[in-house]
Amino acid sequence: MTVSSAESRNGNYPGKGIGEPVGVAILGKGTVGTEVLRLLAEFSDNLEHRIGGPIEVRGVAVSNLDKHKDAPEVAGIYLTDNARELIDRDDVDVVVELIGGIDYPRELVLEALKNGKSVVTANKALVAAHADELSDAANAAGVDLYYEAAVAAAIPVVGMLRRSLAGDQVQRISGIVNGTTNFILDAMATSGMSYEDALAEATRLGYAEADPTADVEGHDAASKAAILASMGFHTRVTYDDVYCEGITKITAEDIAAAKQSNETIKLLAICERLLDDAGNTVGVNARVHPTLVANDHPLASVDKSYNAIFVEAEAAGRLMFYGNGAGGAPTASAVLGDLVGAARNKVHGGRAPAENPYANYEVVGFGEVHSRYHINMTVNDRVGVLADLSRMFAEAGISLSAVRQEESDDGAHLIVVTHSAQESKLSEIVDALTSHADVQAINSVIRLDA
């Protein structure tokens, strides 16, 4: 039975009608695009029942026709190197963007949205940089913008924030959202590898790209942190708002010191609601940096290339979402989940919950955040050094929770763990320590999860 637009239960956003096909354009045919096409073919009957009408792939846009023309997954499917021609077709209802990058995909996605096409994207960098512009365009056209696959692949964290916790107040989100860095840190912890050796192993196994900069310097995780903060706190947070520090300075000695303290080092994305003394929200912050995590925390046991997101909400309490955060099949699973939602709305009418930055909290700079520091330094081995340095911390208003001194051939290793203090003050004390006559070197500064 076909239901007319006038009979749709969603008059503002009428559907095509049950049984009507949903035309899909796929932009990009890399690892994820290939998996999406495979799953669409394999699950076509099931997807039709879930949607209320069949999905029909109108075409696939690629940059190099010769490279893909003989691929079995595009047999019988229109292949083009003109993405604009494809998304402008009247028989395309949903555009799936899997190109990557920012500028060119932004142009295509905006054009698709303005032309009344719903969009599904796995492009974290695009969403982190331009979520406001894309969401405004989707709202103006009355279409859907989905991006579950942009954060942690198959782990349904975006949908959780958008729907499941829509009636709650999220206080904090912390997580391991980059599989490459988690693999490297786990390899260093379990085998004693150096950072360089662990990176080489990650590259050999395909976990790290030929140029791993976006992963190991934290940029990939920062894009995801911006998305999580925006969704969790109903405030537009962009990539440029996120403090970002990678793992390239983490040494085997740091890993060993963490083990001695019954902790492990993880690259965490942390999104936090900042409160005043009365419990009122004064702003939000998003940051990415190596973090010492107590071994009894659920995130500490996340190994290899897995991802996990830990959410703390006022009513729901503490929740953790765990799974494959990257890879062709897991990412394609998230893309298809979004595609089913967008296609179902095209058939039945209505829209998915849209981004709603109603709270519009101030995005607070990293210097205002409270942190704890684990400082490892080499100092001159003389009587009174510890007292002098402790006095420096006290004069700066920073209290110490632990101090440990170890003898070495070139002086003494002094490990200081602070109580929570303002990040800017902690940074200042580290700068002051570097110029102290008795401090030979600051070996590492790692933050602790509060």
Q: What is the dihedral of CA 376, 380, 381, 386, to 10 degrees?
A: -60
* Each residue's pLDDT tens digit, 137-193: 999 999 999 999 999 999 999 999 999 999 999 999 999 999 999 999 999 999 999
* Each residue's pLDDT tens digit, 242-299: 999 999 999 999 999 999 889 999 999 999 999 999 999 999 999 999 999 999 999 9
- Alpha carbons 208 and 215: distance in angstroms, whole number: 8
**Residue 364 corresponds to which tokens in the numbers above?**
């607070």
**Residue 399 corresponds to which tokens in the numbers above?**
């209290």
**Residue 303 corresponds to which tokens in the numbers above?**
């190994």
Q: Looking at the predicted structure, is the pLDDT value of residue 403 above 60? A: yes
* Each residue's pLDDT tens digit, 198-241: 999 999 999 999 999 999 999 999 999 999 999 999 999 999 99
Q: Looking at the predicted structure, is the pLDDT value of residue 13 above 90? A: no
Predicted confidence at residue 450, as pLDDT, reads: 58
- Please give the order of strands across the beta sheet that includes 145-146: 79-80, 55-61, 22-27, 94-97, 118-121, 145-146
> Count of CB atoms within 10 A of residue 171's CB?
17
DSSP string for 234-274:
TS---GGGSEE--STT--HHHHHHHHHTTEEEEEEEEEEEE
* Each residue's pLDDT tens digit, 368-377: 999 999 999 9
Among 3.90.1150.10, 3.40.980.10, 3.30.360.10, 3.20.20.220, what is the CATH number of 164-323? 3.30.360.10
Range in 142-146, 199-203, 306-310, 349-353 with the lowest mean pLDDT: 349-353
Q: What is the mean pLDDT of the chain?
A: 93
Q: Determine which helix (DSSP H) or strand (DSSP E) holds 86, and give its type and residue range.
A: helix 83-87
Q: Tell me the residue type at 9.
A: R
Predicted confidence at residue 5, as pLDDT, reads: 37
User: Residue 229 in contact with residue 151, Cβ under 8 Å?
Assistant: no
Backbone angles phi, psi at 388, to 5 degrees: -65, -45
- Alpha carbons 172 and 163: distance in angstroms, whole number: 17
Mean pLDDT to the nearest integer, 116-124 = 97
* Set 67, 114, 117, 224: catalytic member: 224
- Topology adopted by domain 369-448: Alpha-Beta Plaits (3.30.70)
- Alpha carbons 342 and 118: distance in angstroms, whole number: 7
164-323 shares its CATH topology with 369-448: no
Query: Is 224 assigned a catalytic role?
Result: yes
Range in 56-70, 302-316, 333-347, 400-414 with the lowest mean pLDDT: 400-414
- Alpha carbons 380 and 135: distance in angstroms, whole number: 57
* Each residue's pLDDT tens digit, 312-329: 999 999 999 999 988 899
Mean pLDDT to the nearest integer, 88-101 = 96
- Which residues contribute to the annotated binding site for NADP(+)? 27-34
**Residue 218 corresponds to which tokens in the numbers above?**
């934290």
Q: Which residue has better confidence, 113 or 8?
A: 113
Q: Looking at the predicted structure, is the pLDDT value of residue 11 above 80? A: no
The domain spans of the chain are 22-153+328-348, 164-323, 369-448
CATH 3.40.50.720 fits 22-153+328-348, yes or no: yes
**Residue 223 corresponds to which tokens in the numbers above?**
């894009």
Q: Which residues pair with 121 in a beta bridge?
A: 97
DSSP string for 160-228:
IIIIITTTS-EEEEEEE--HHHHHHHHHHHHH---HHHHHHHHHHTTSS-SS-HHHHTSHHHHHHHHHH
**Residue 33 corresponds to which tokens in the numbers above?**
């695009």
Predicted confidence at residue 204, as pLDDT, reads: 94
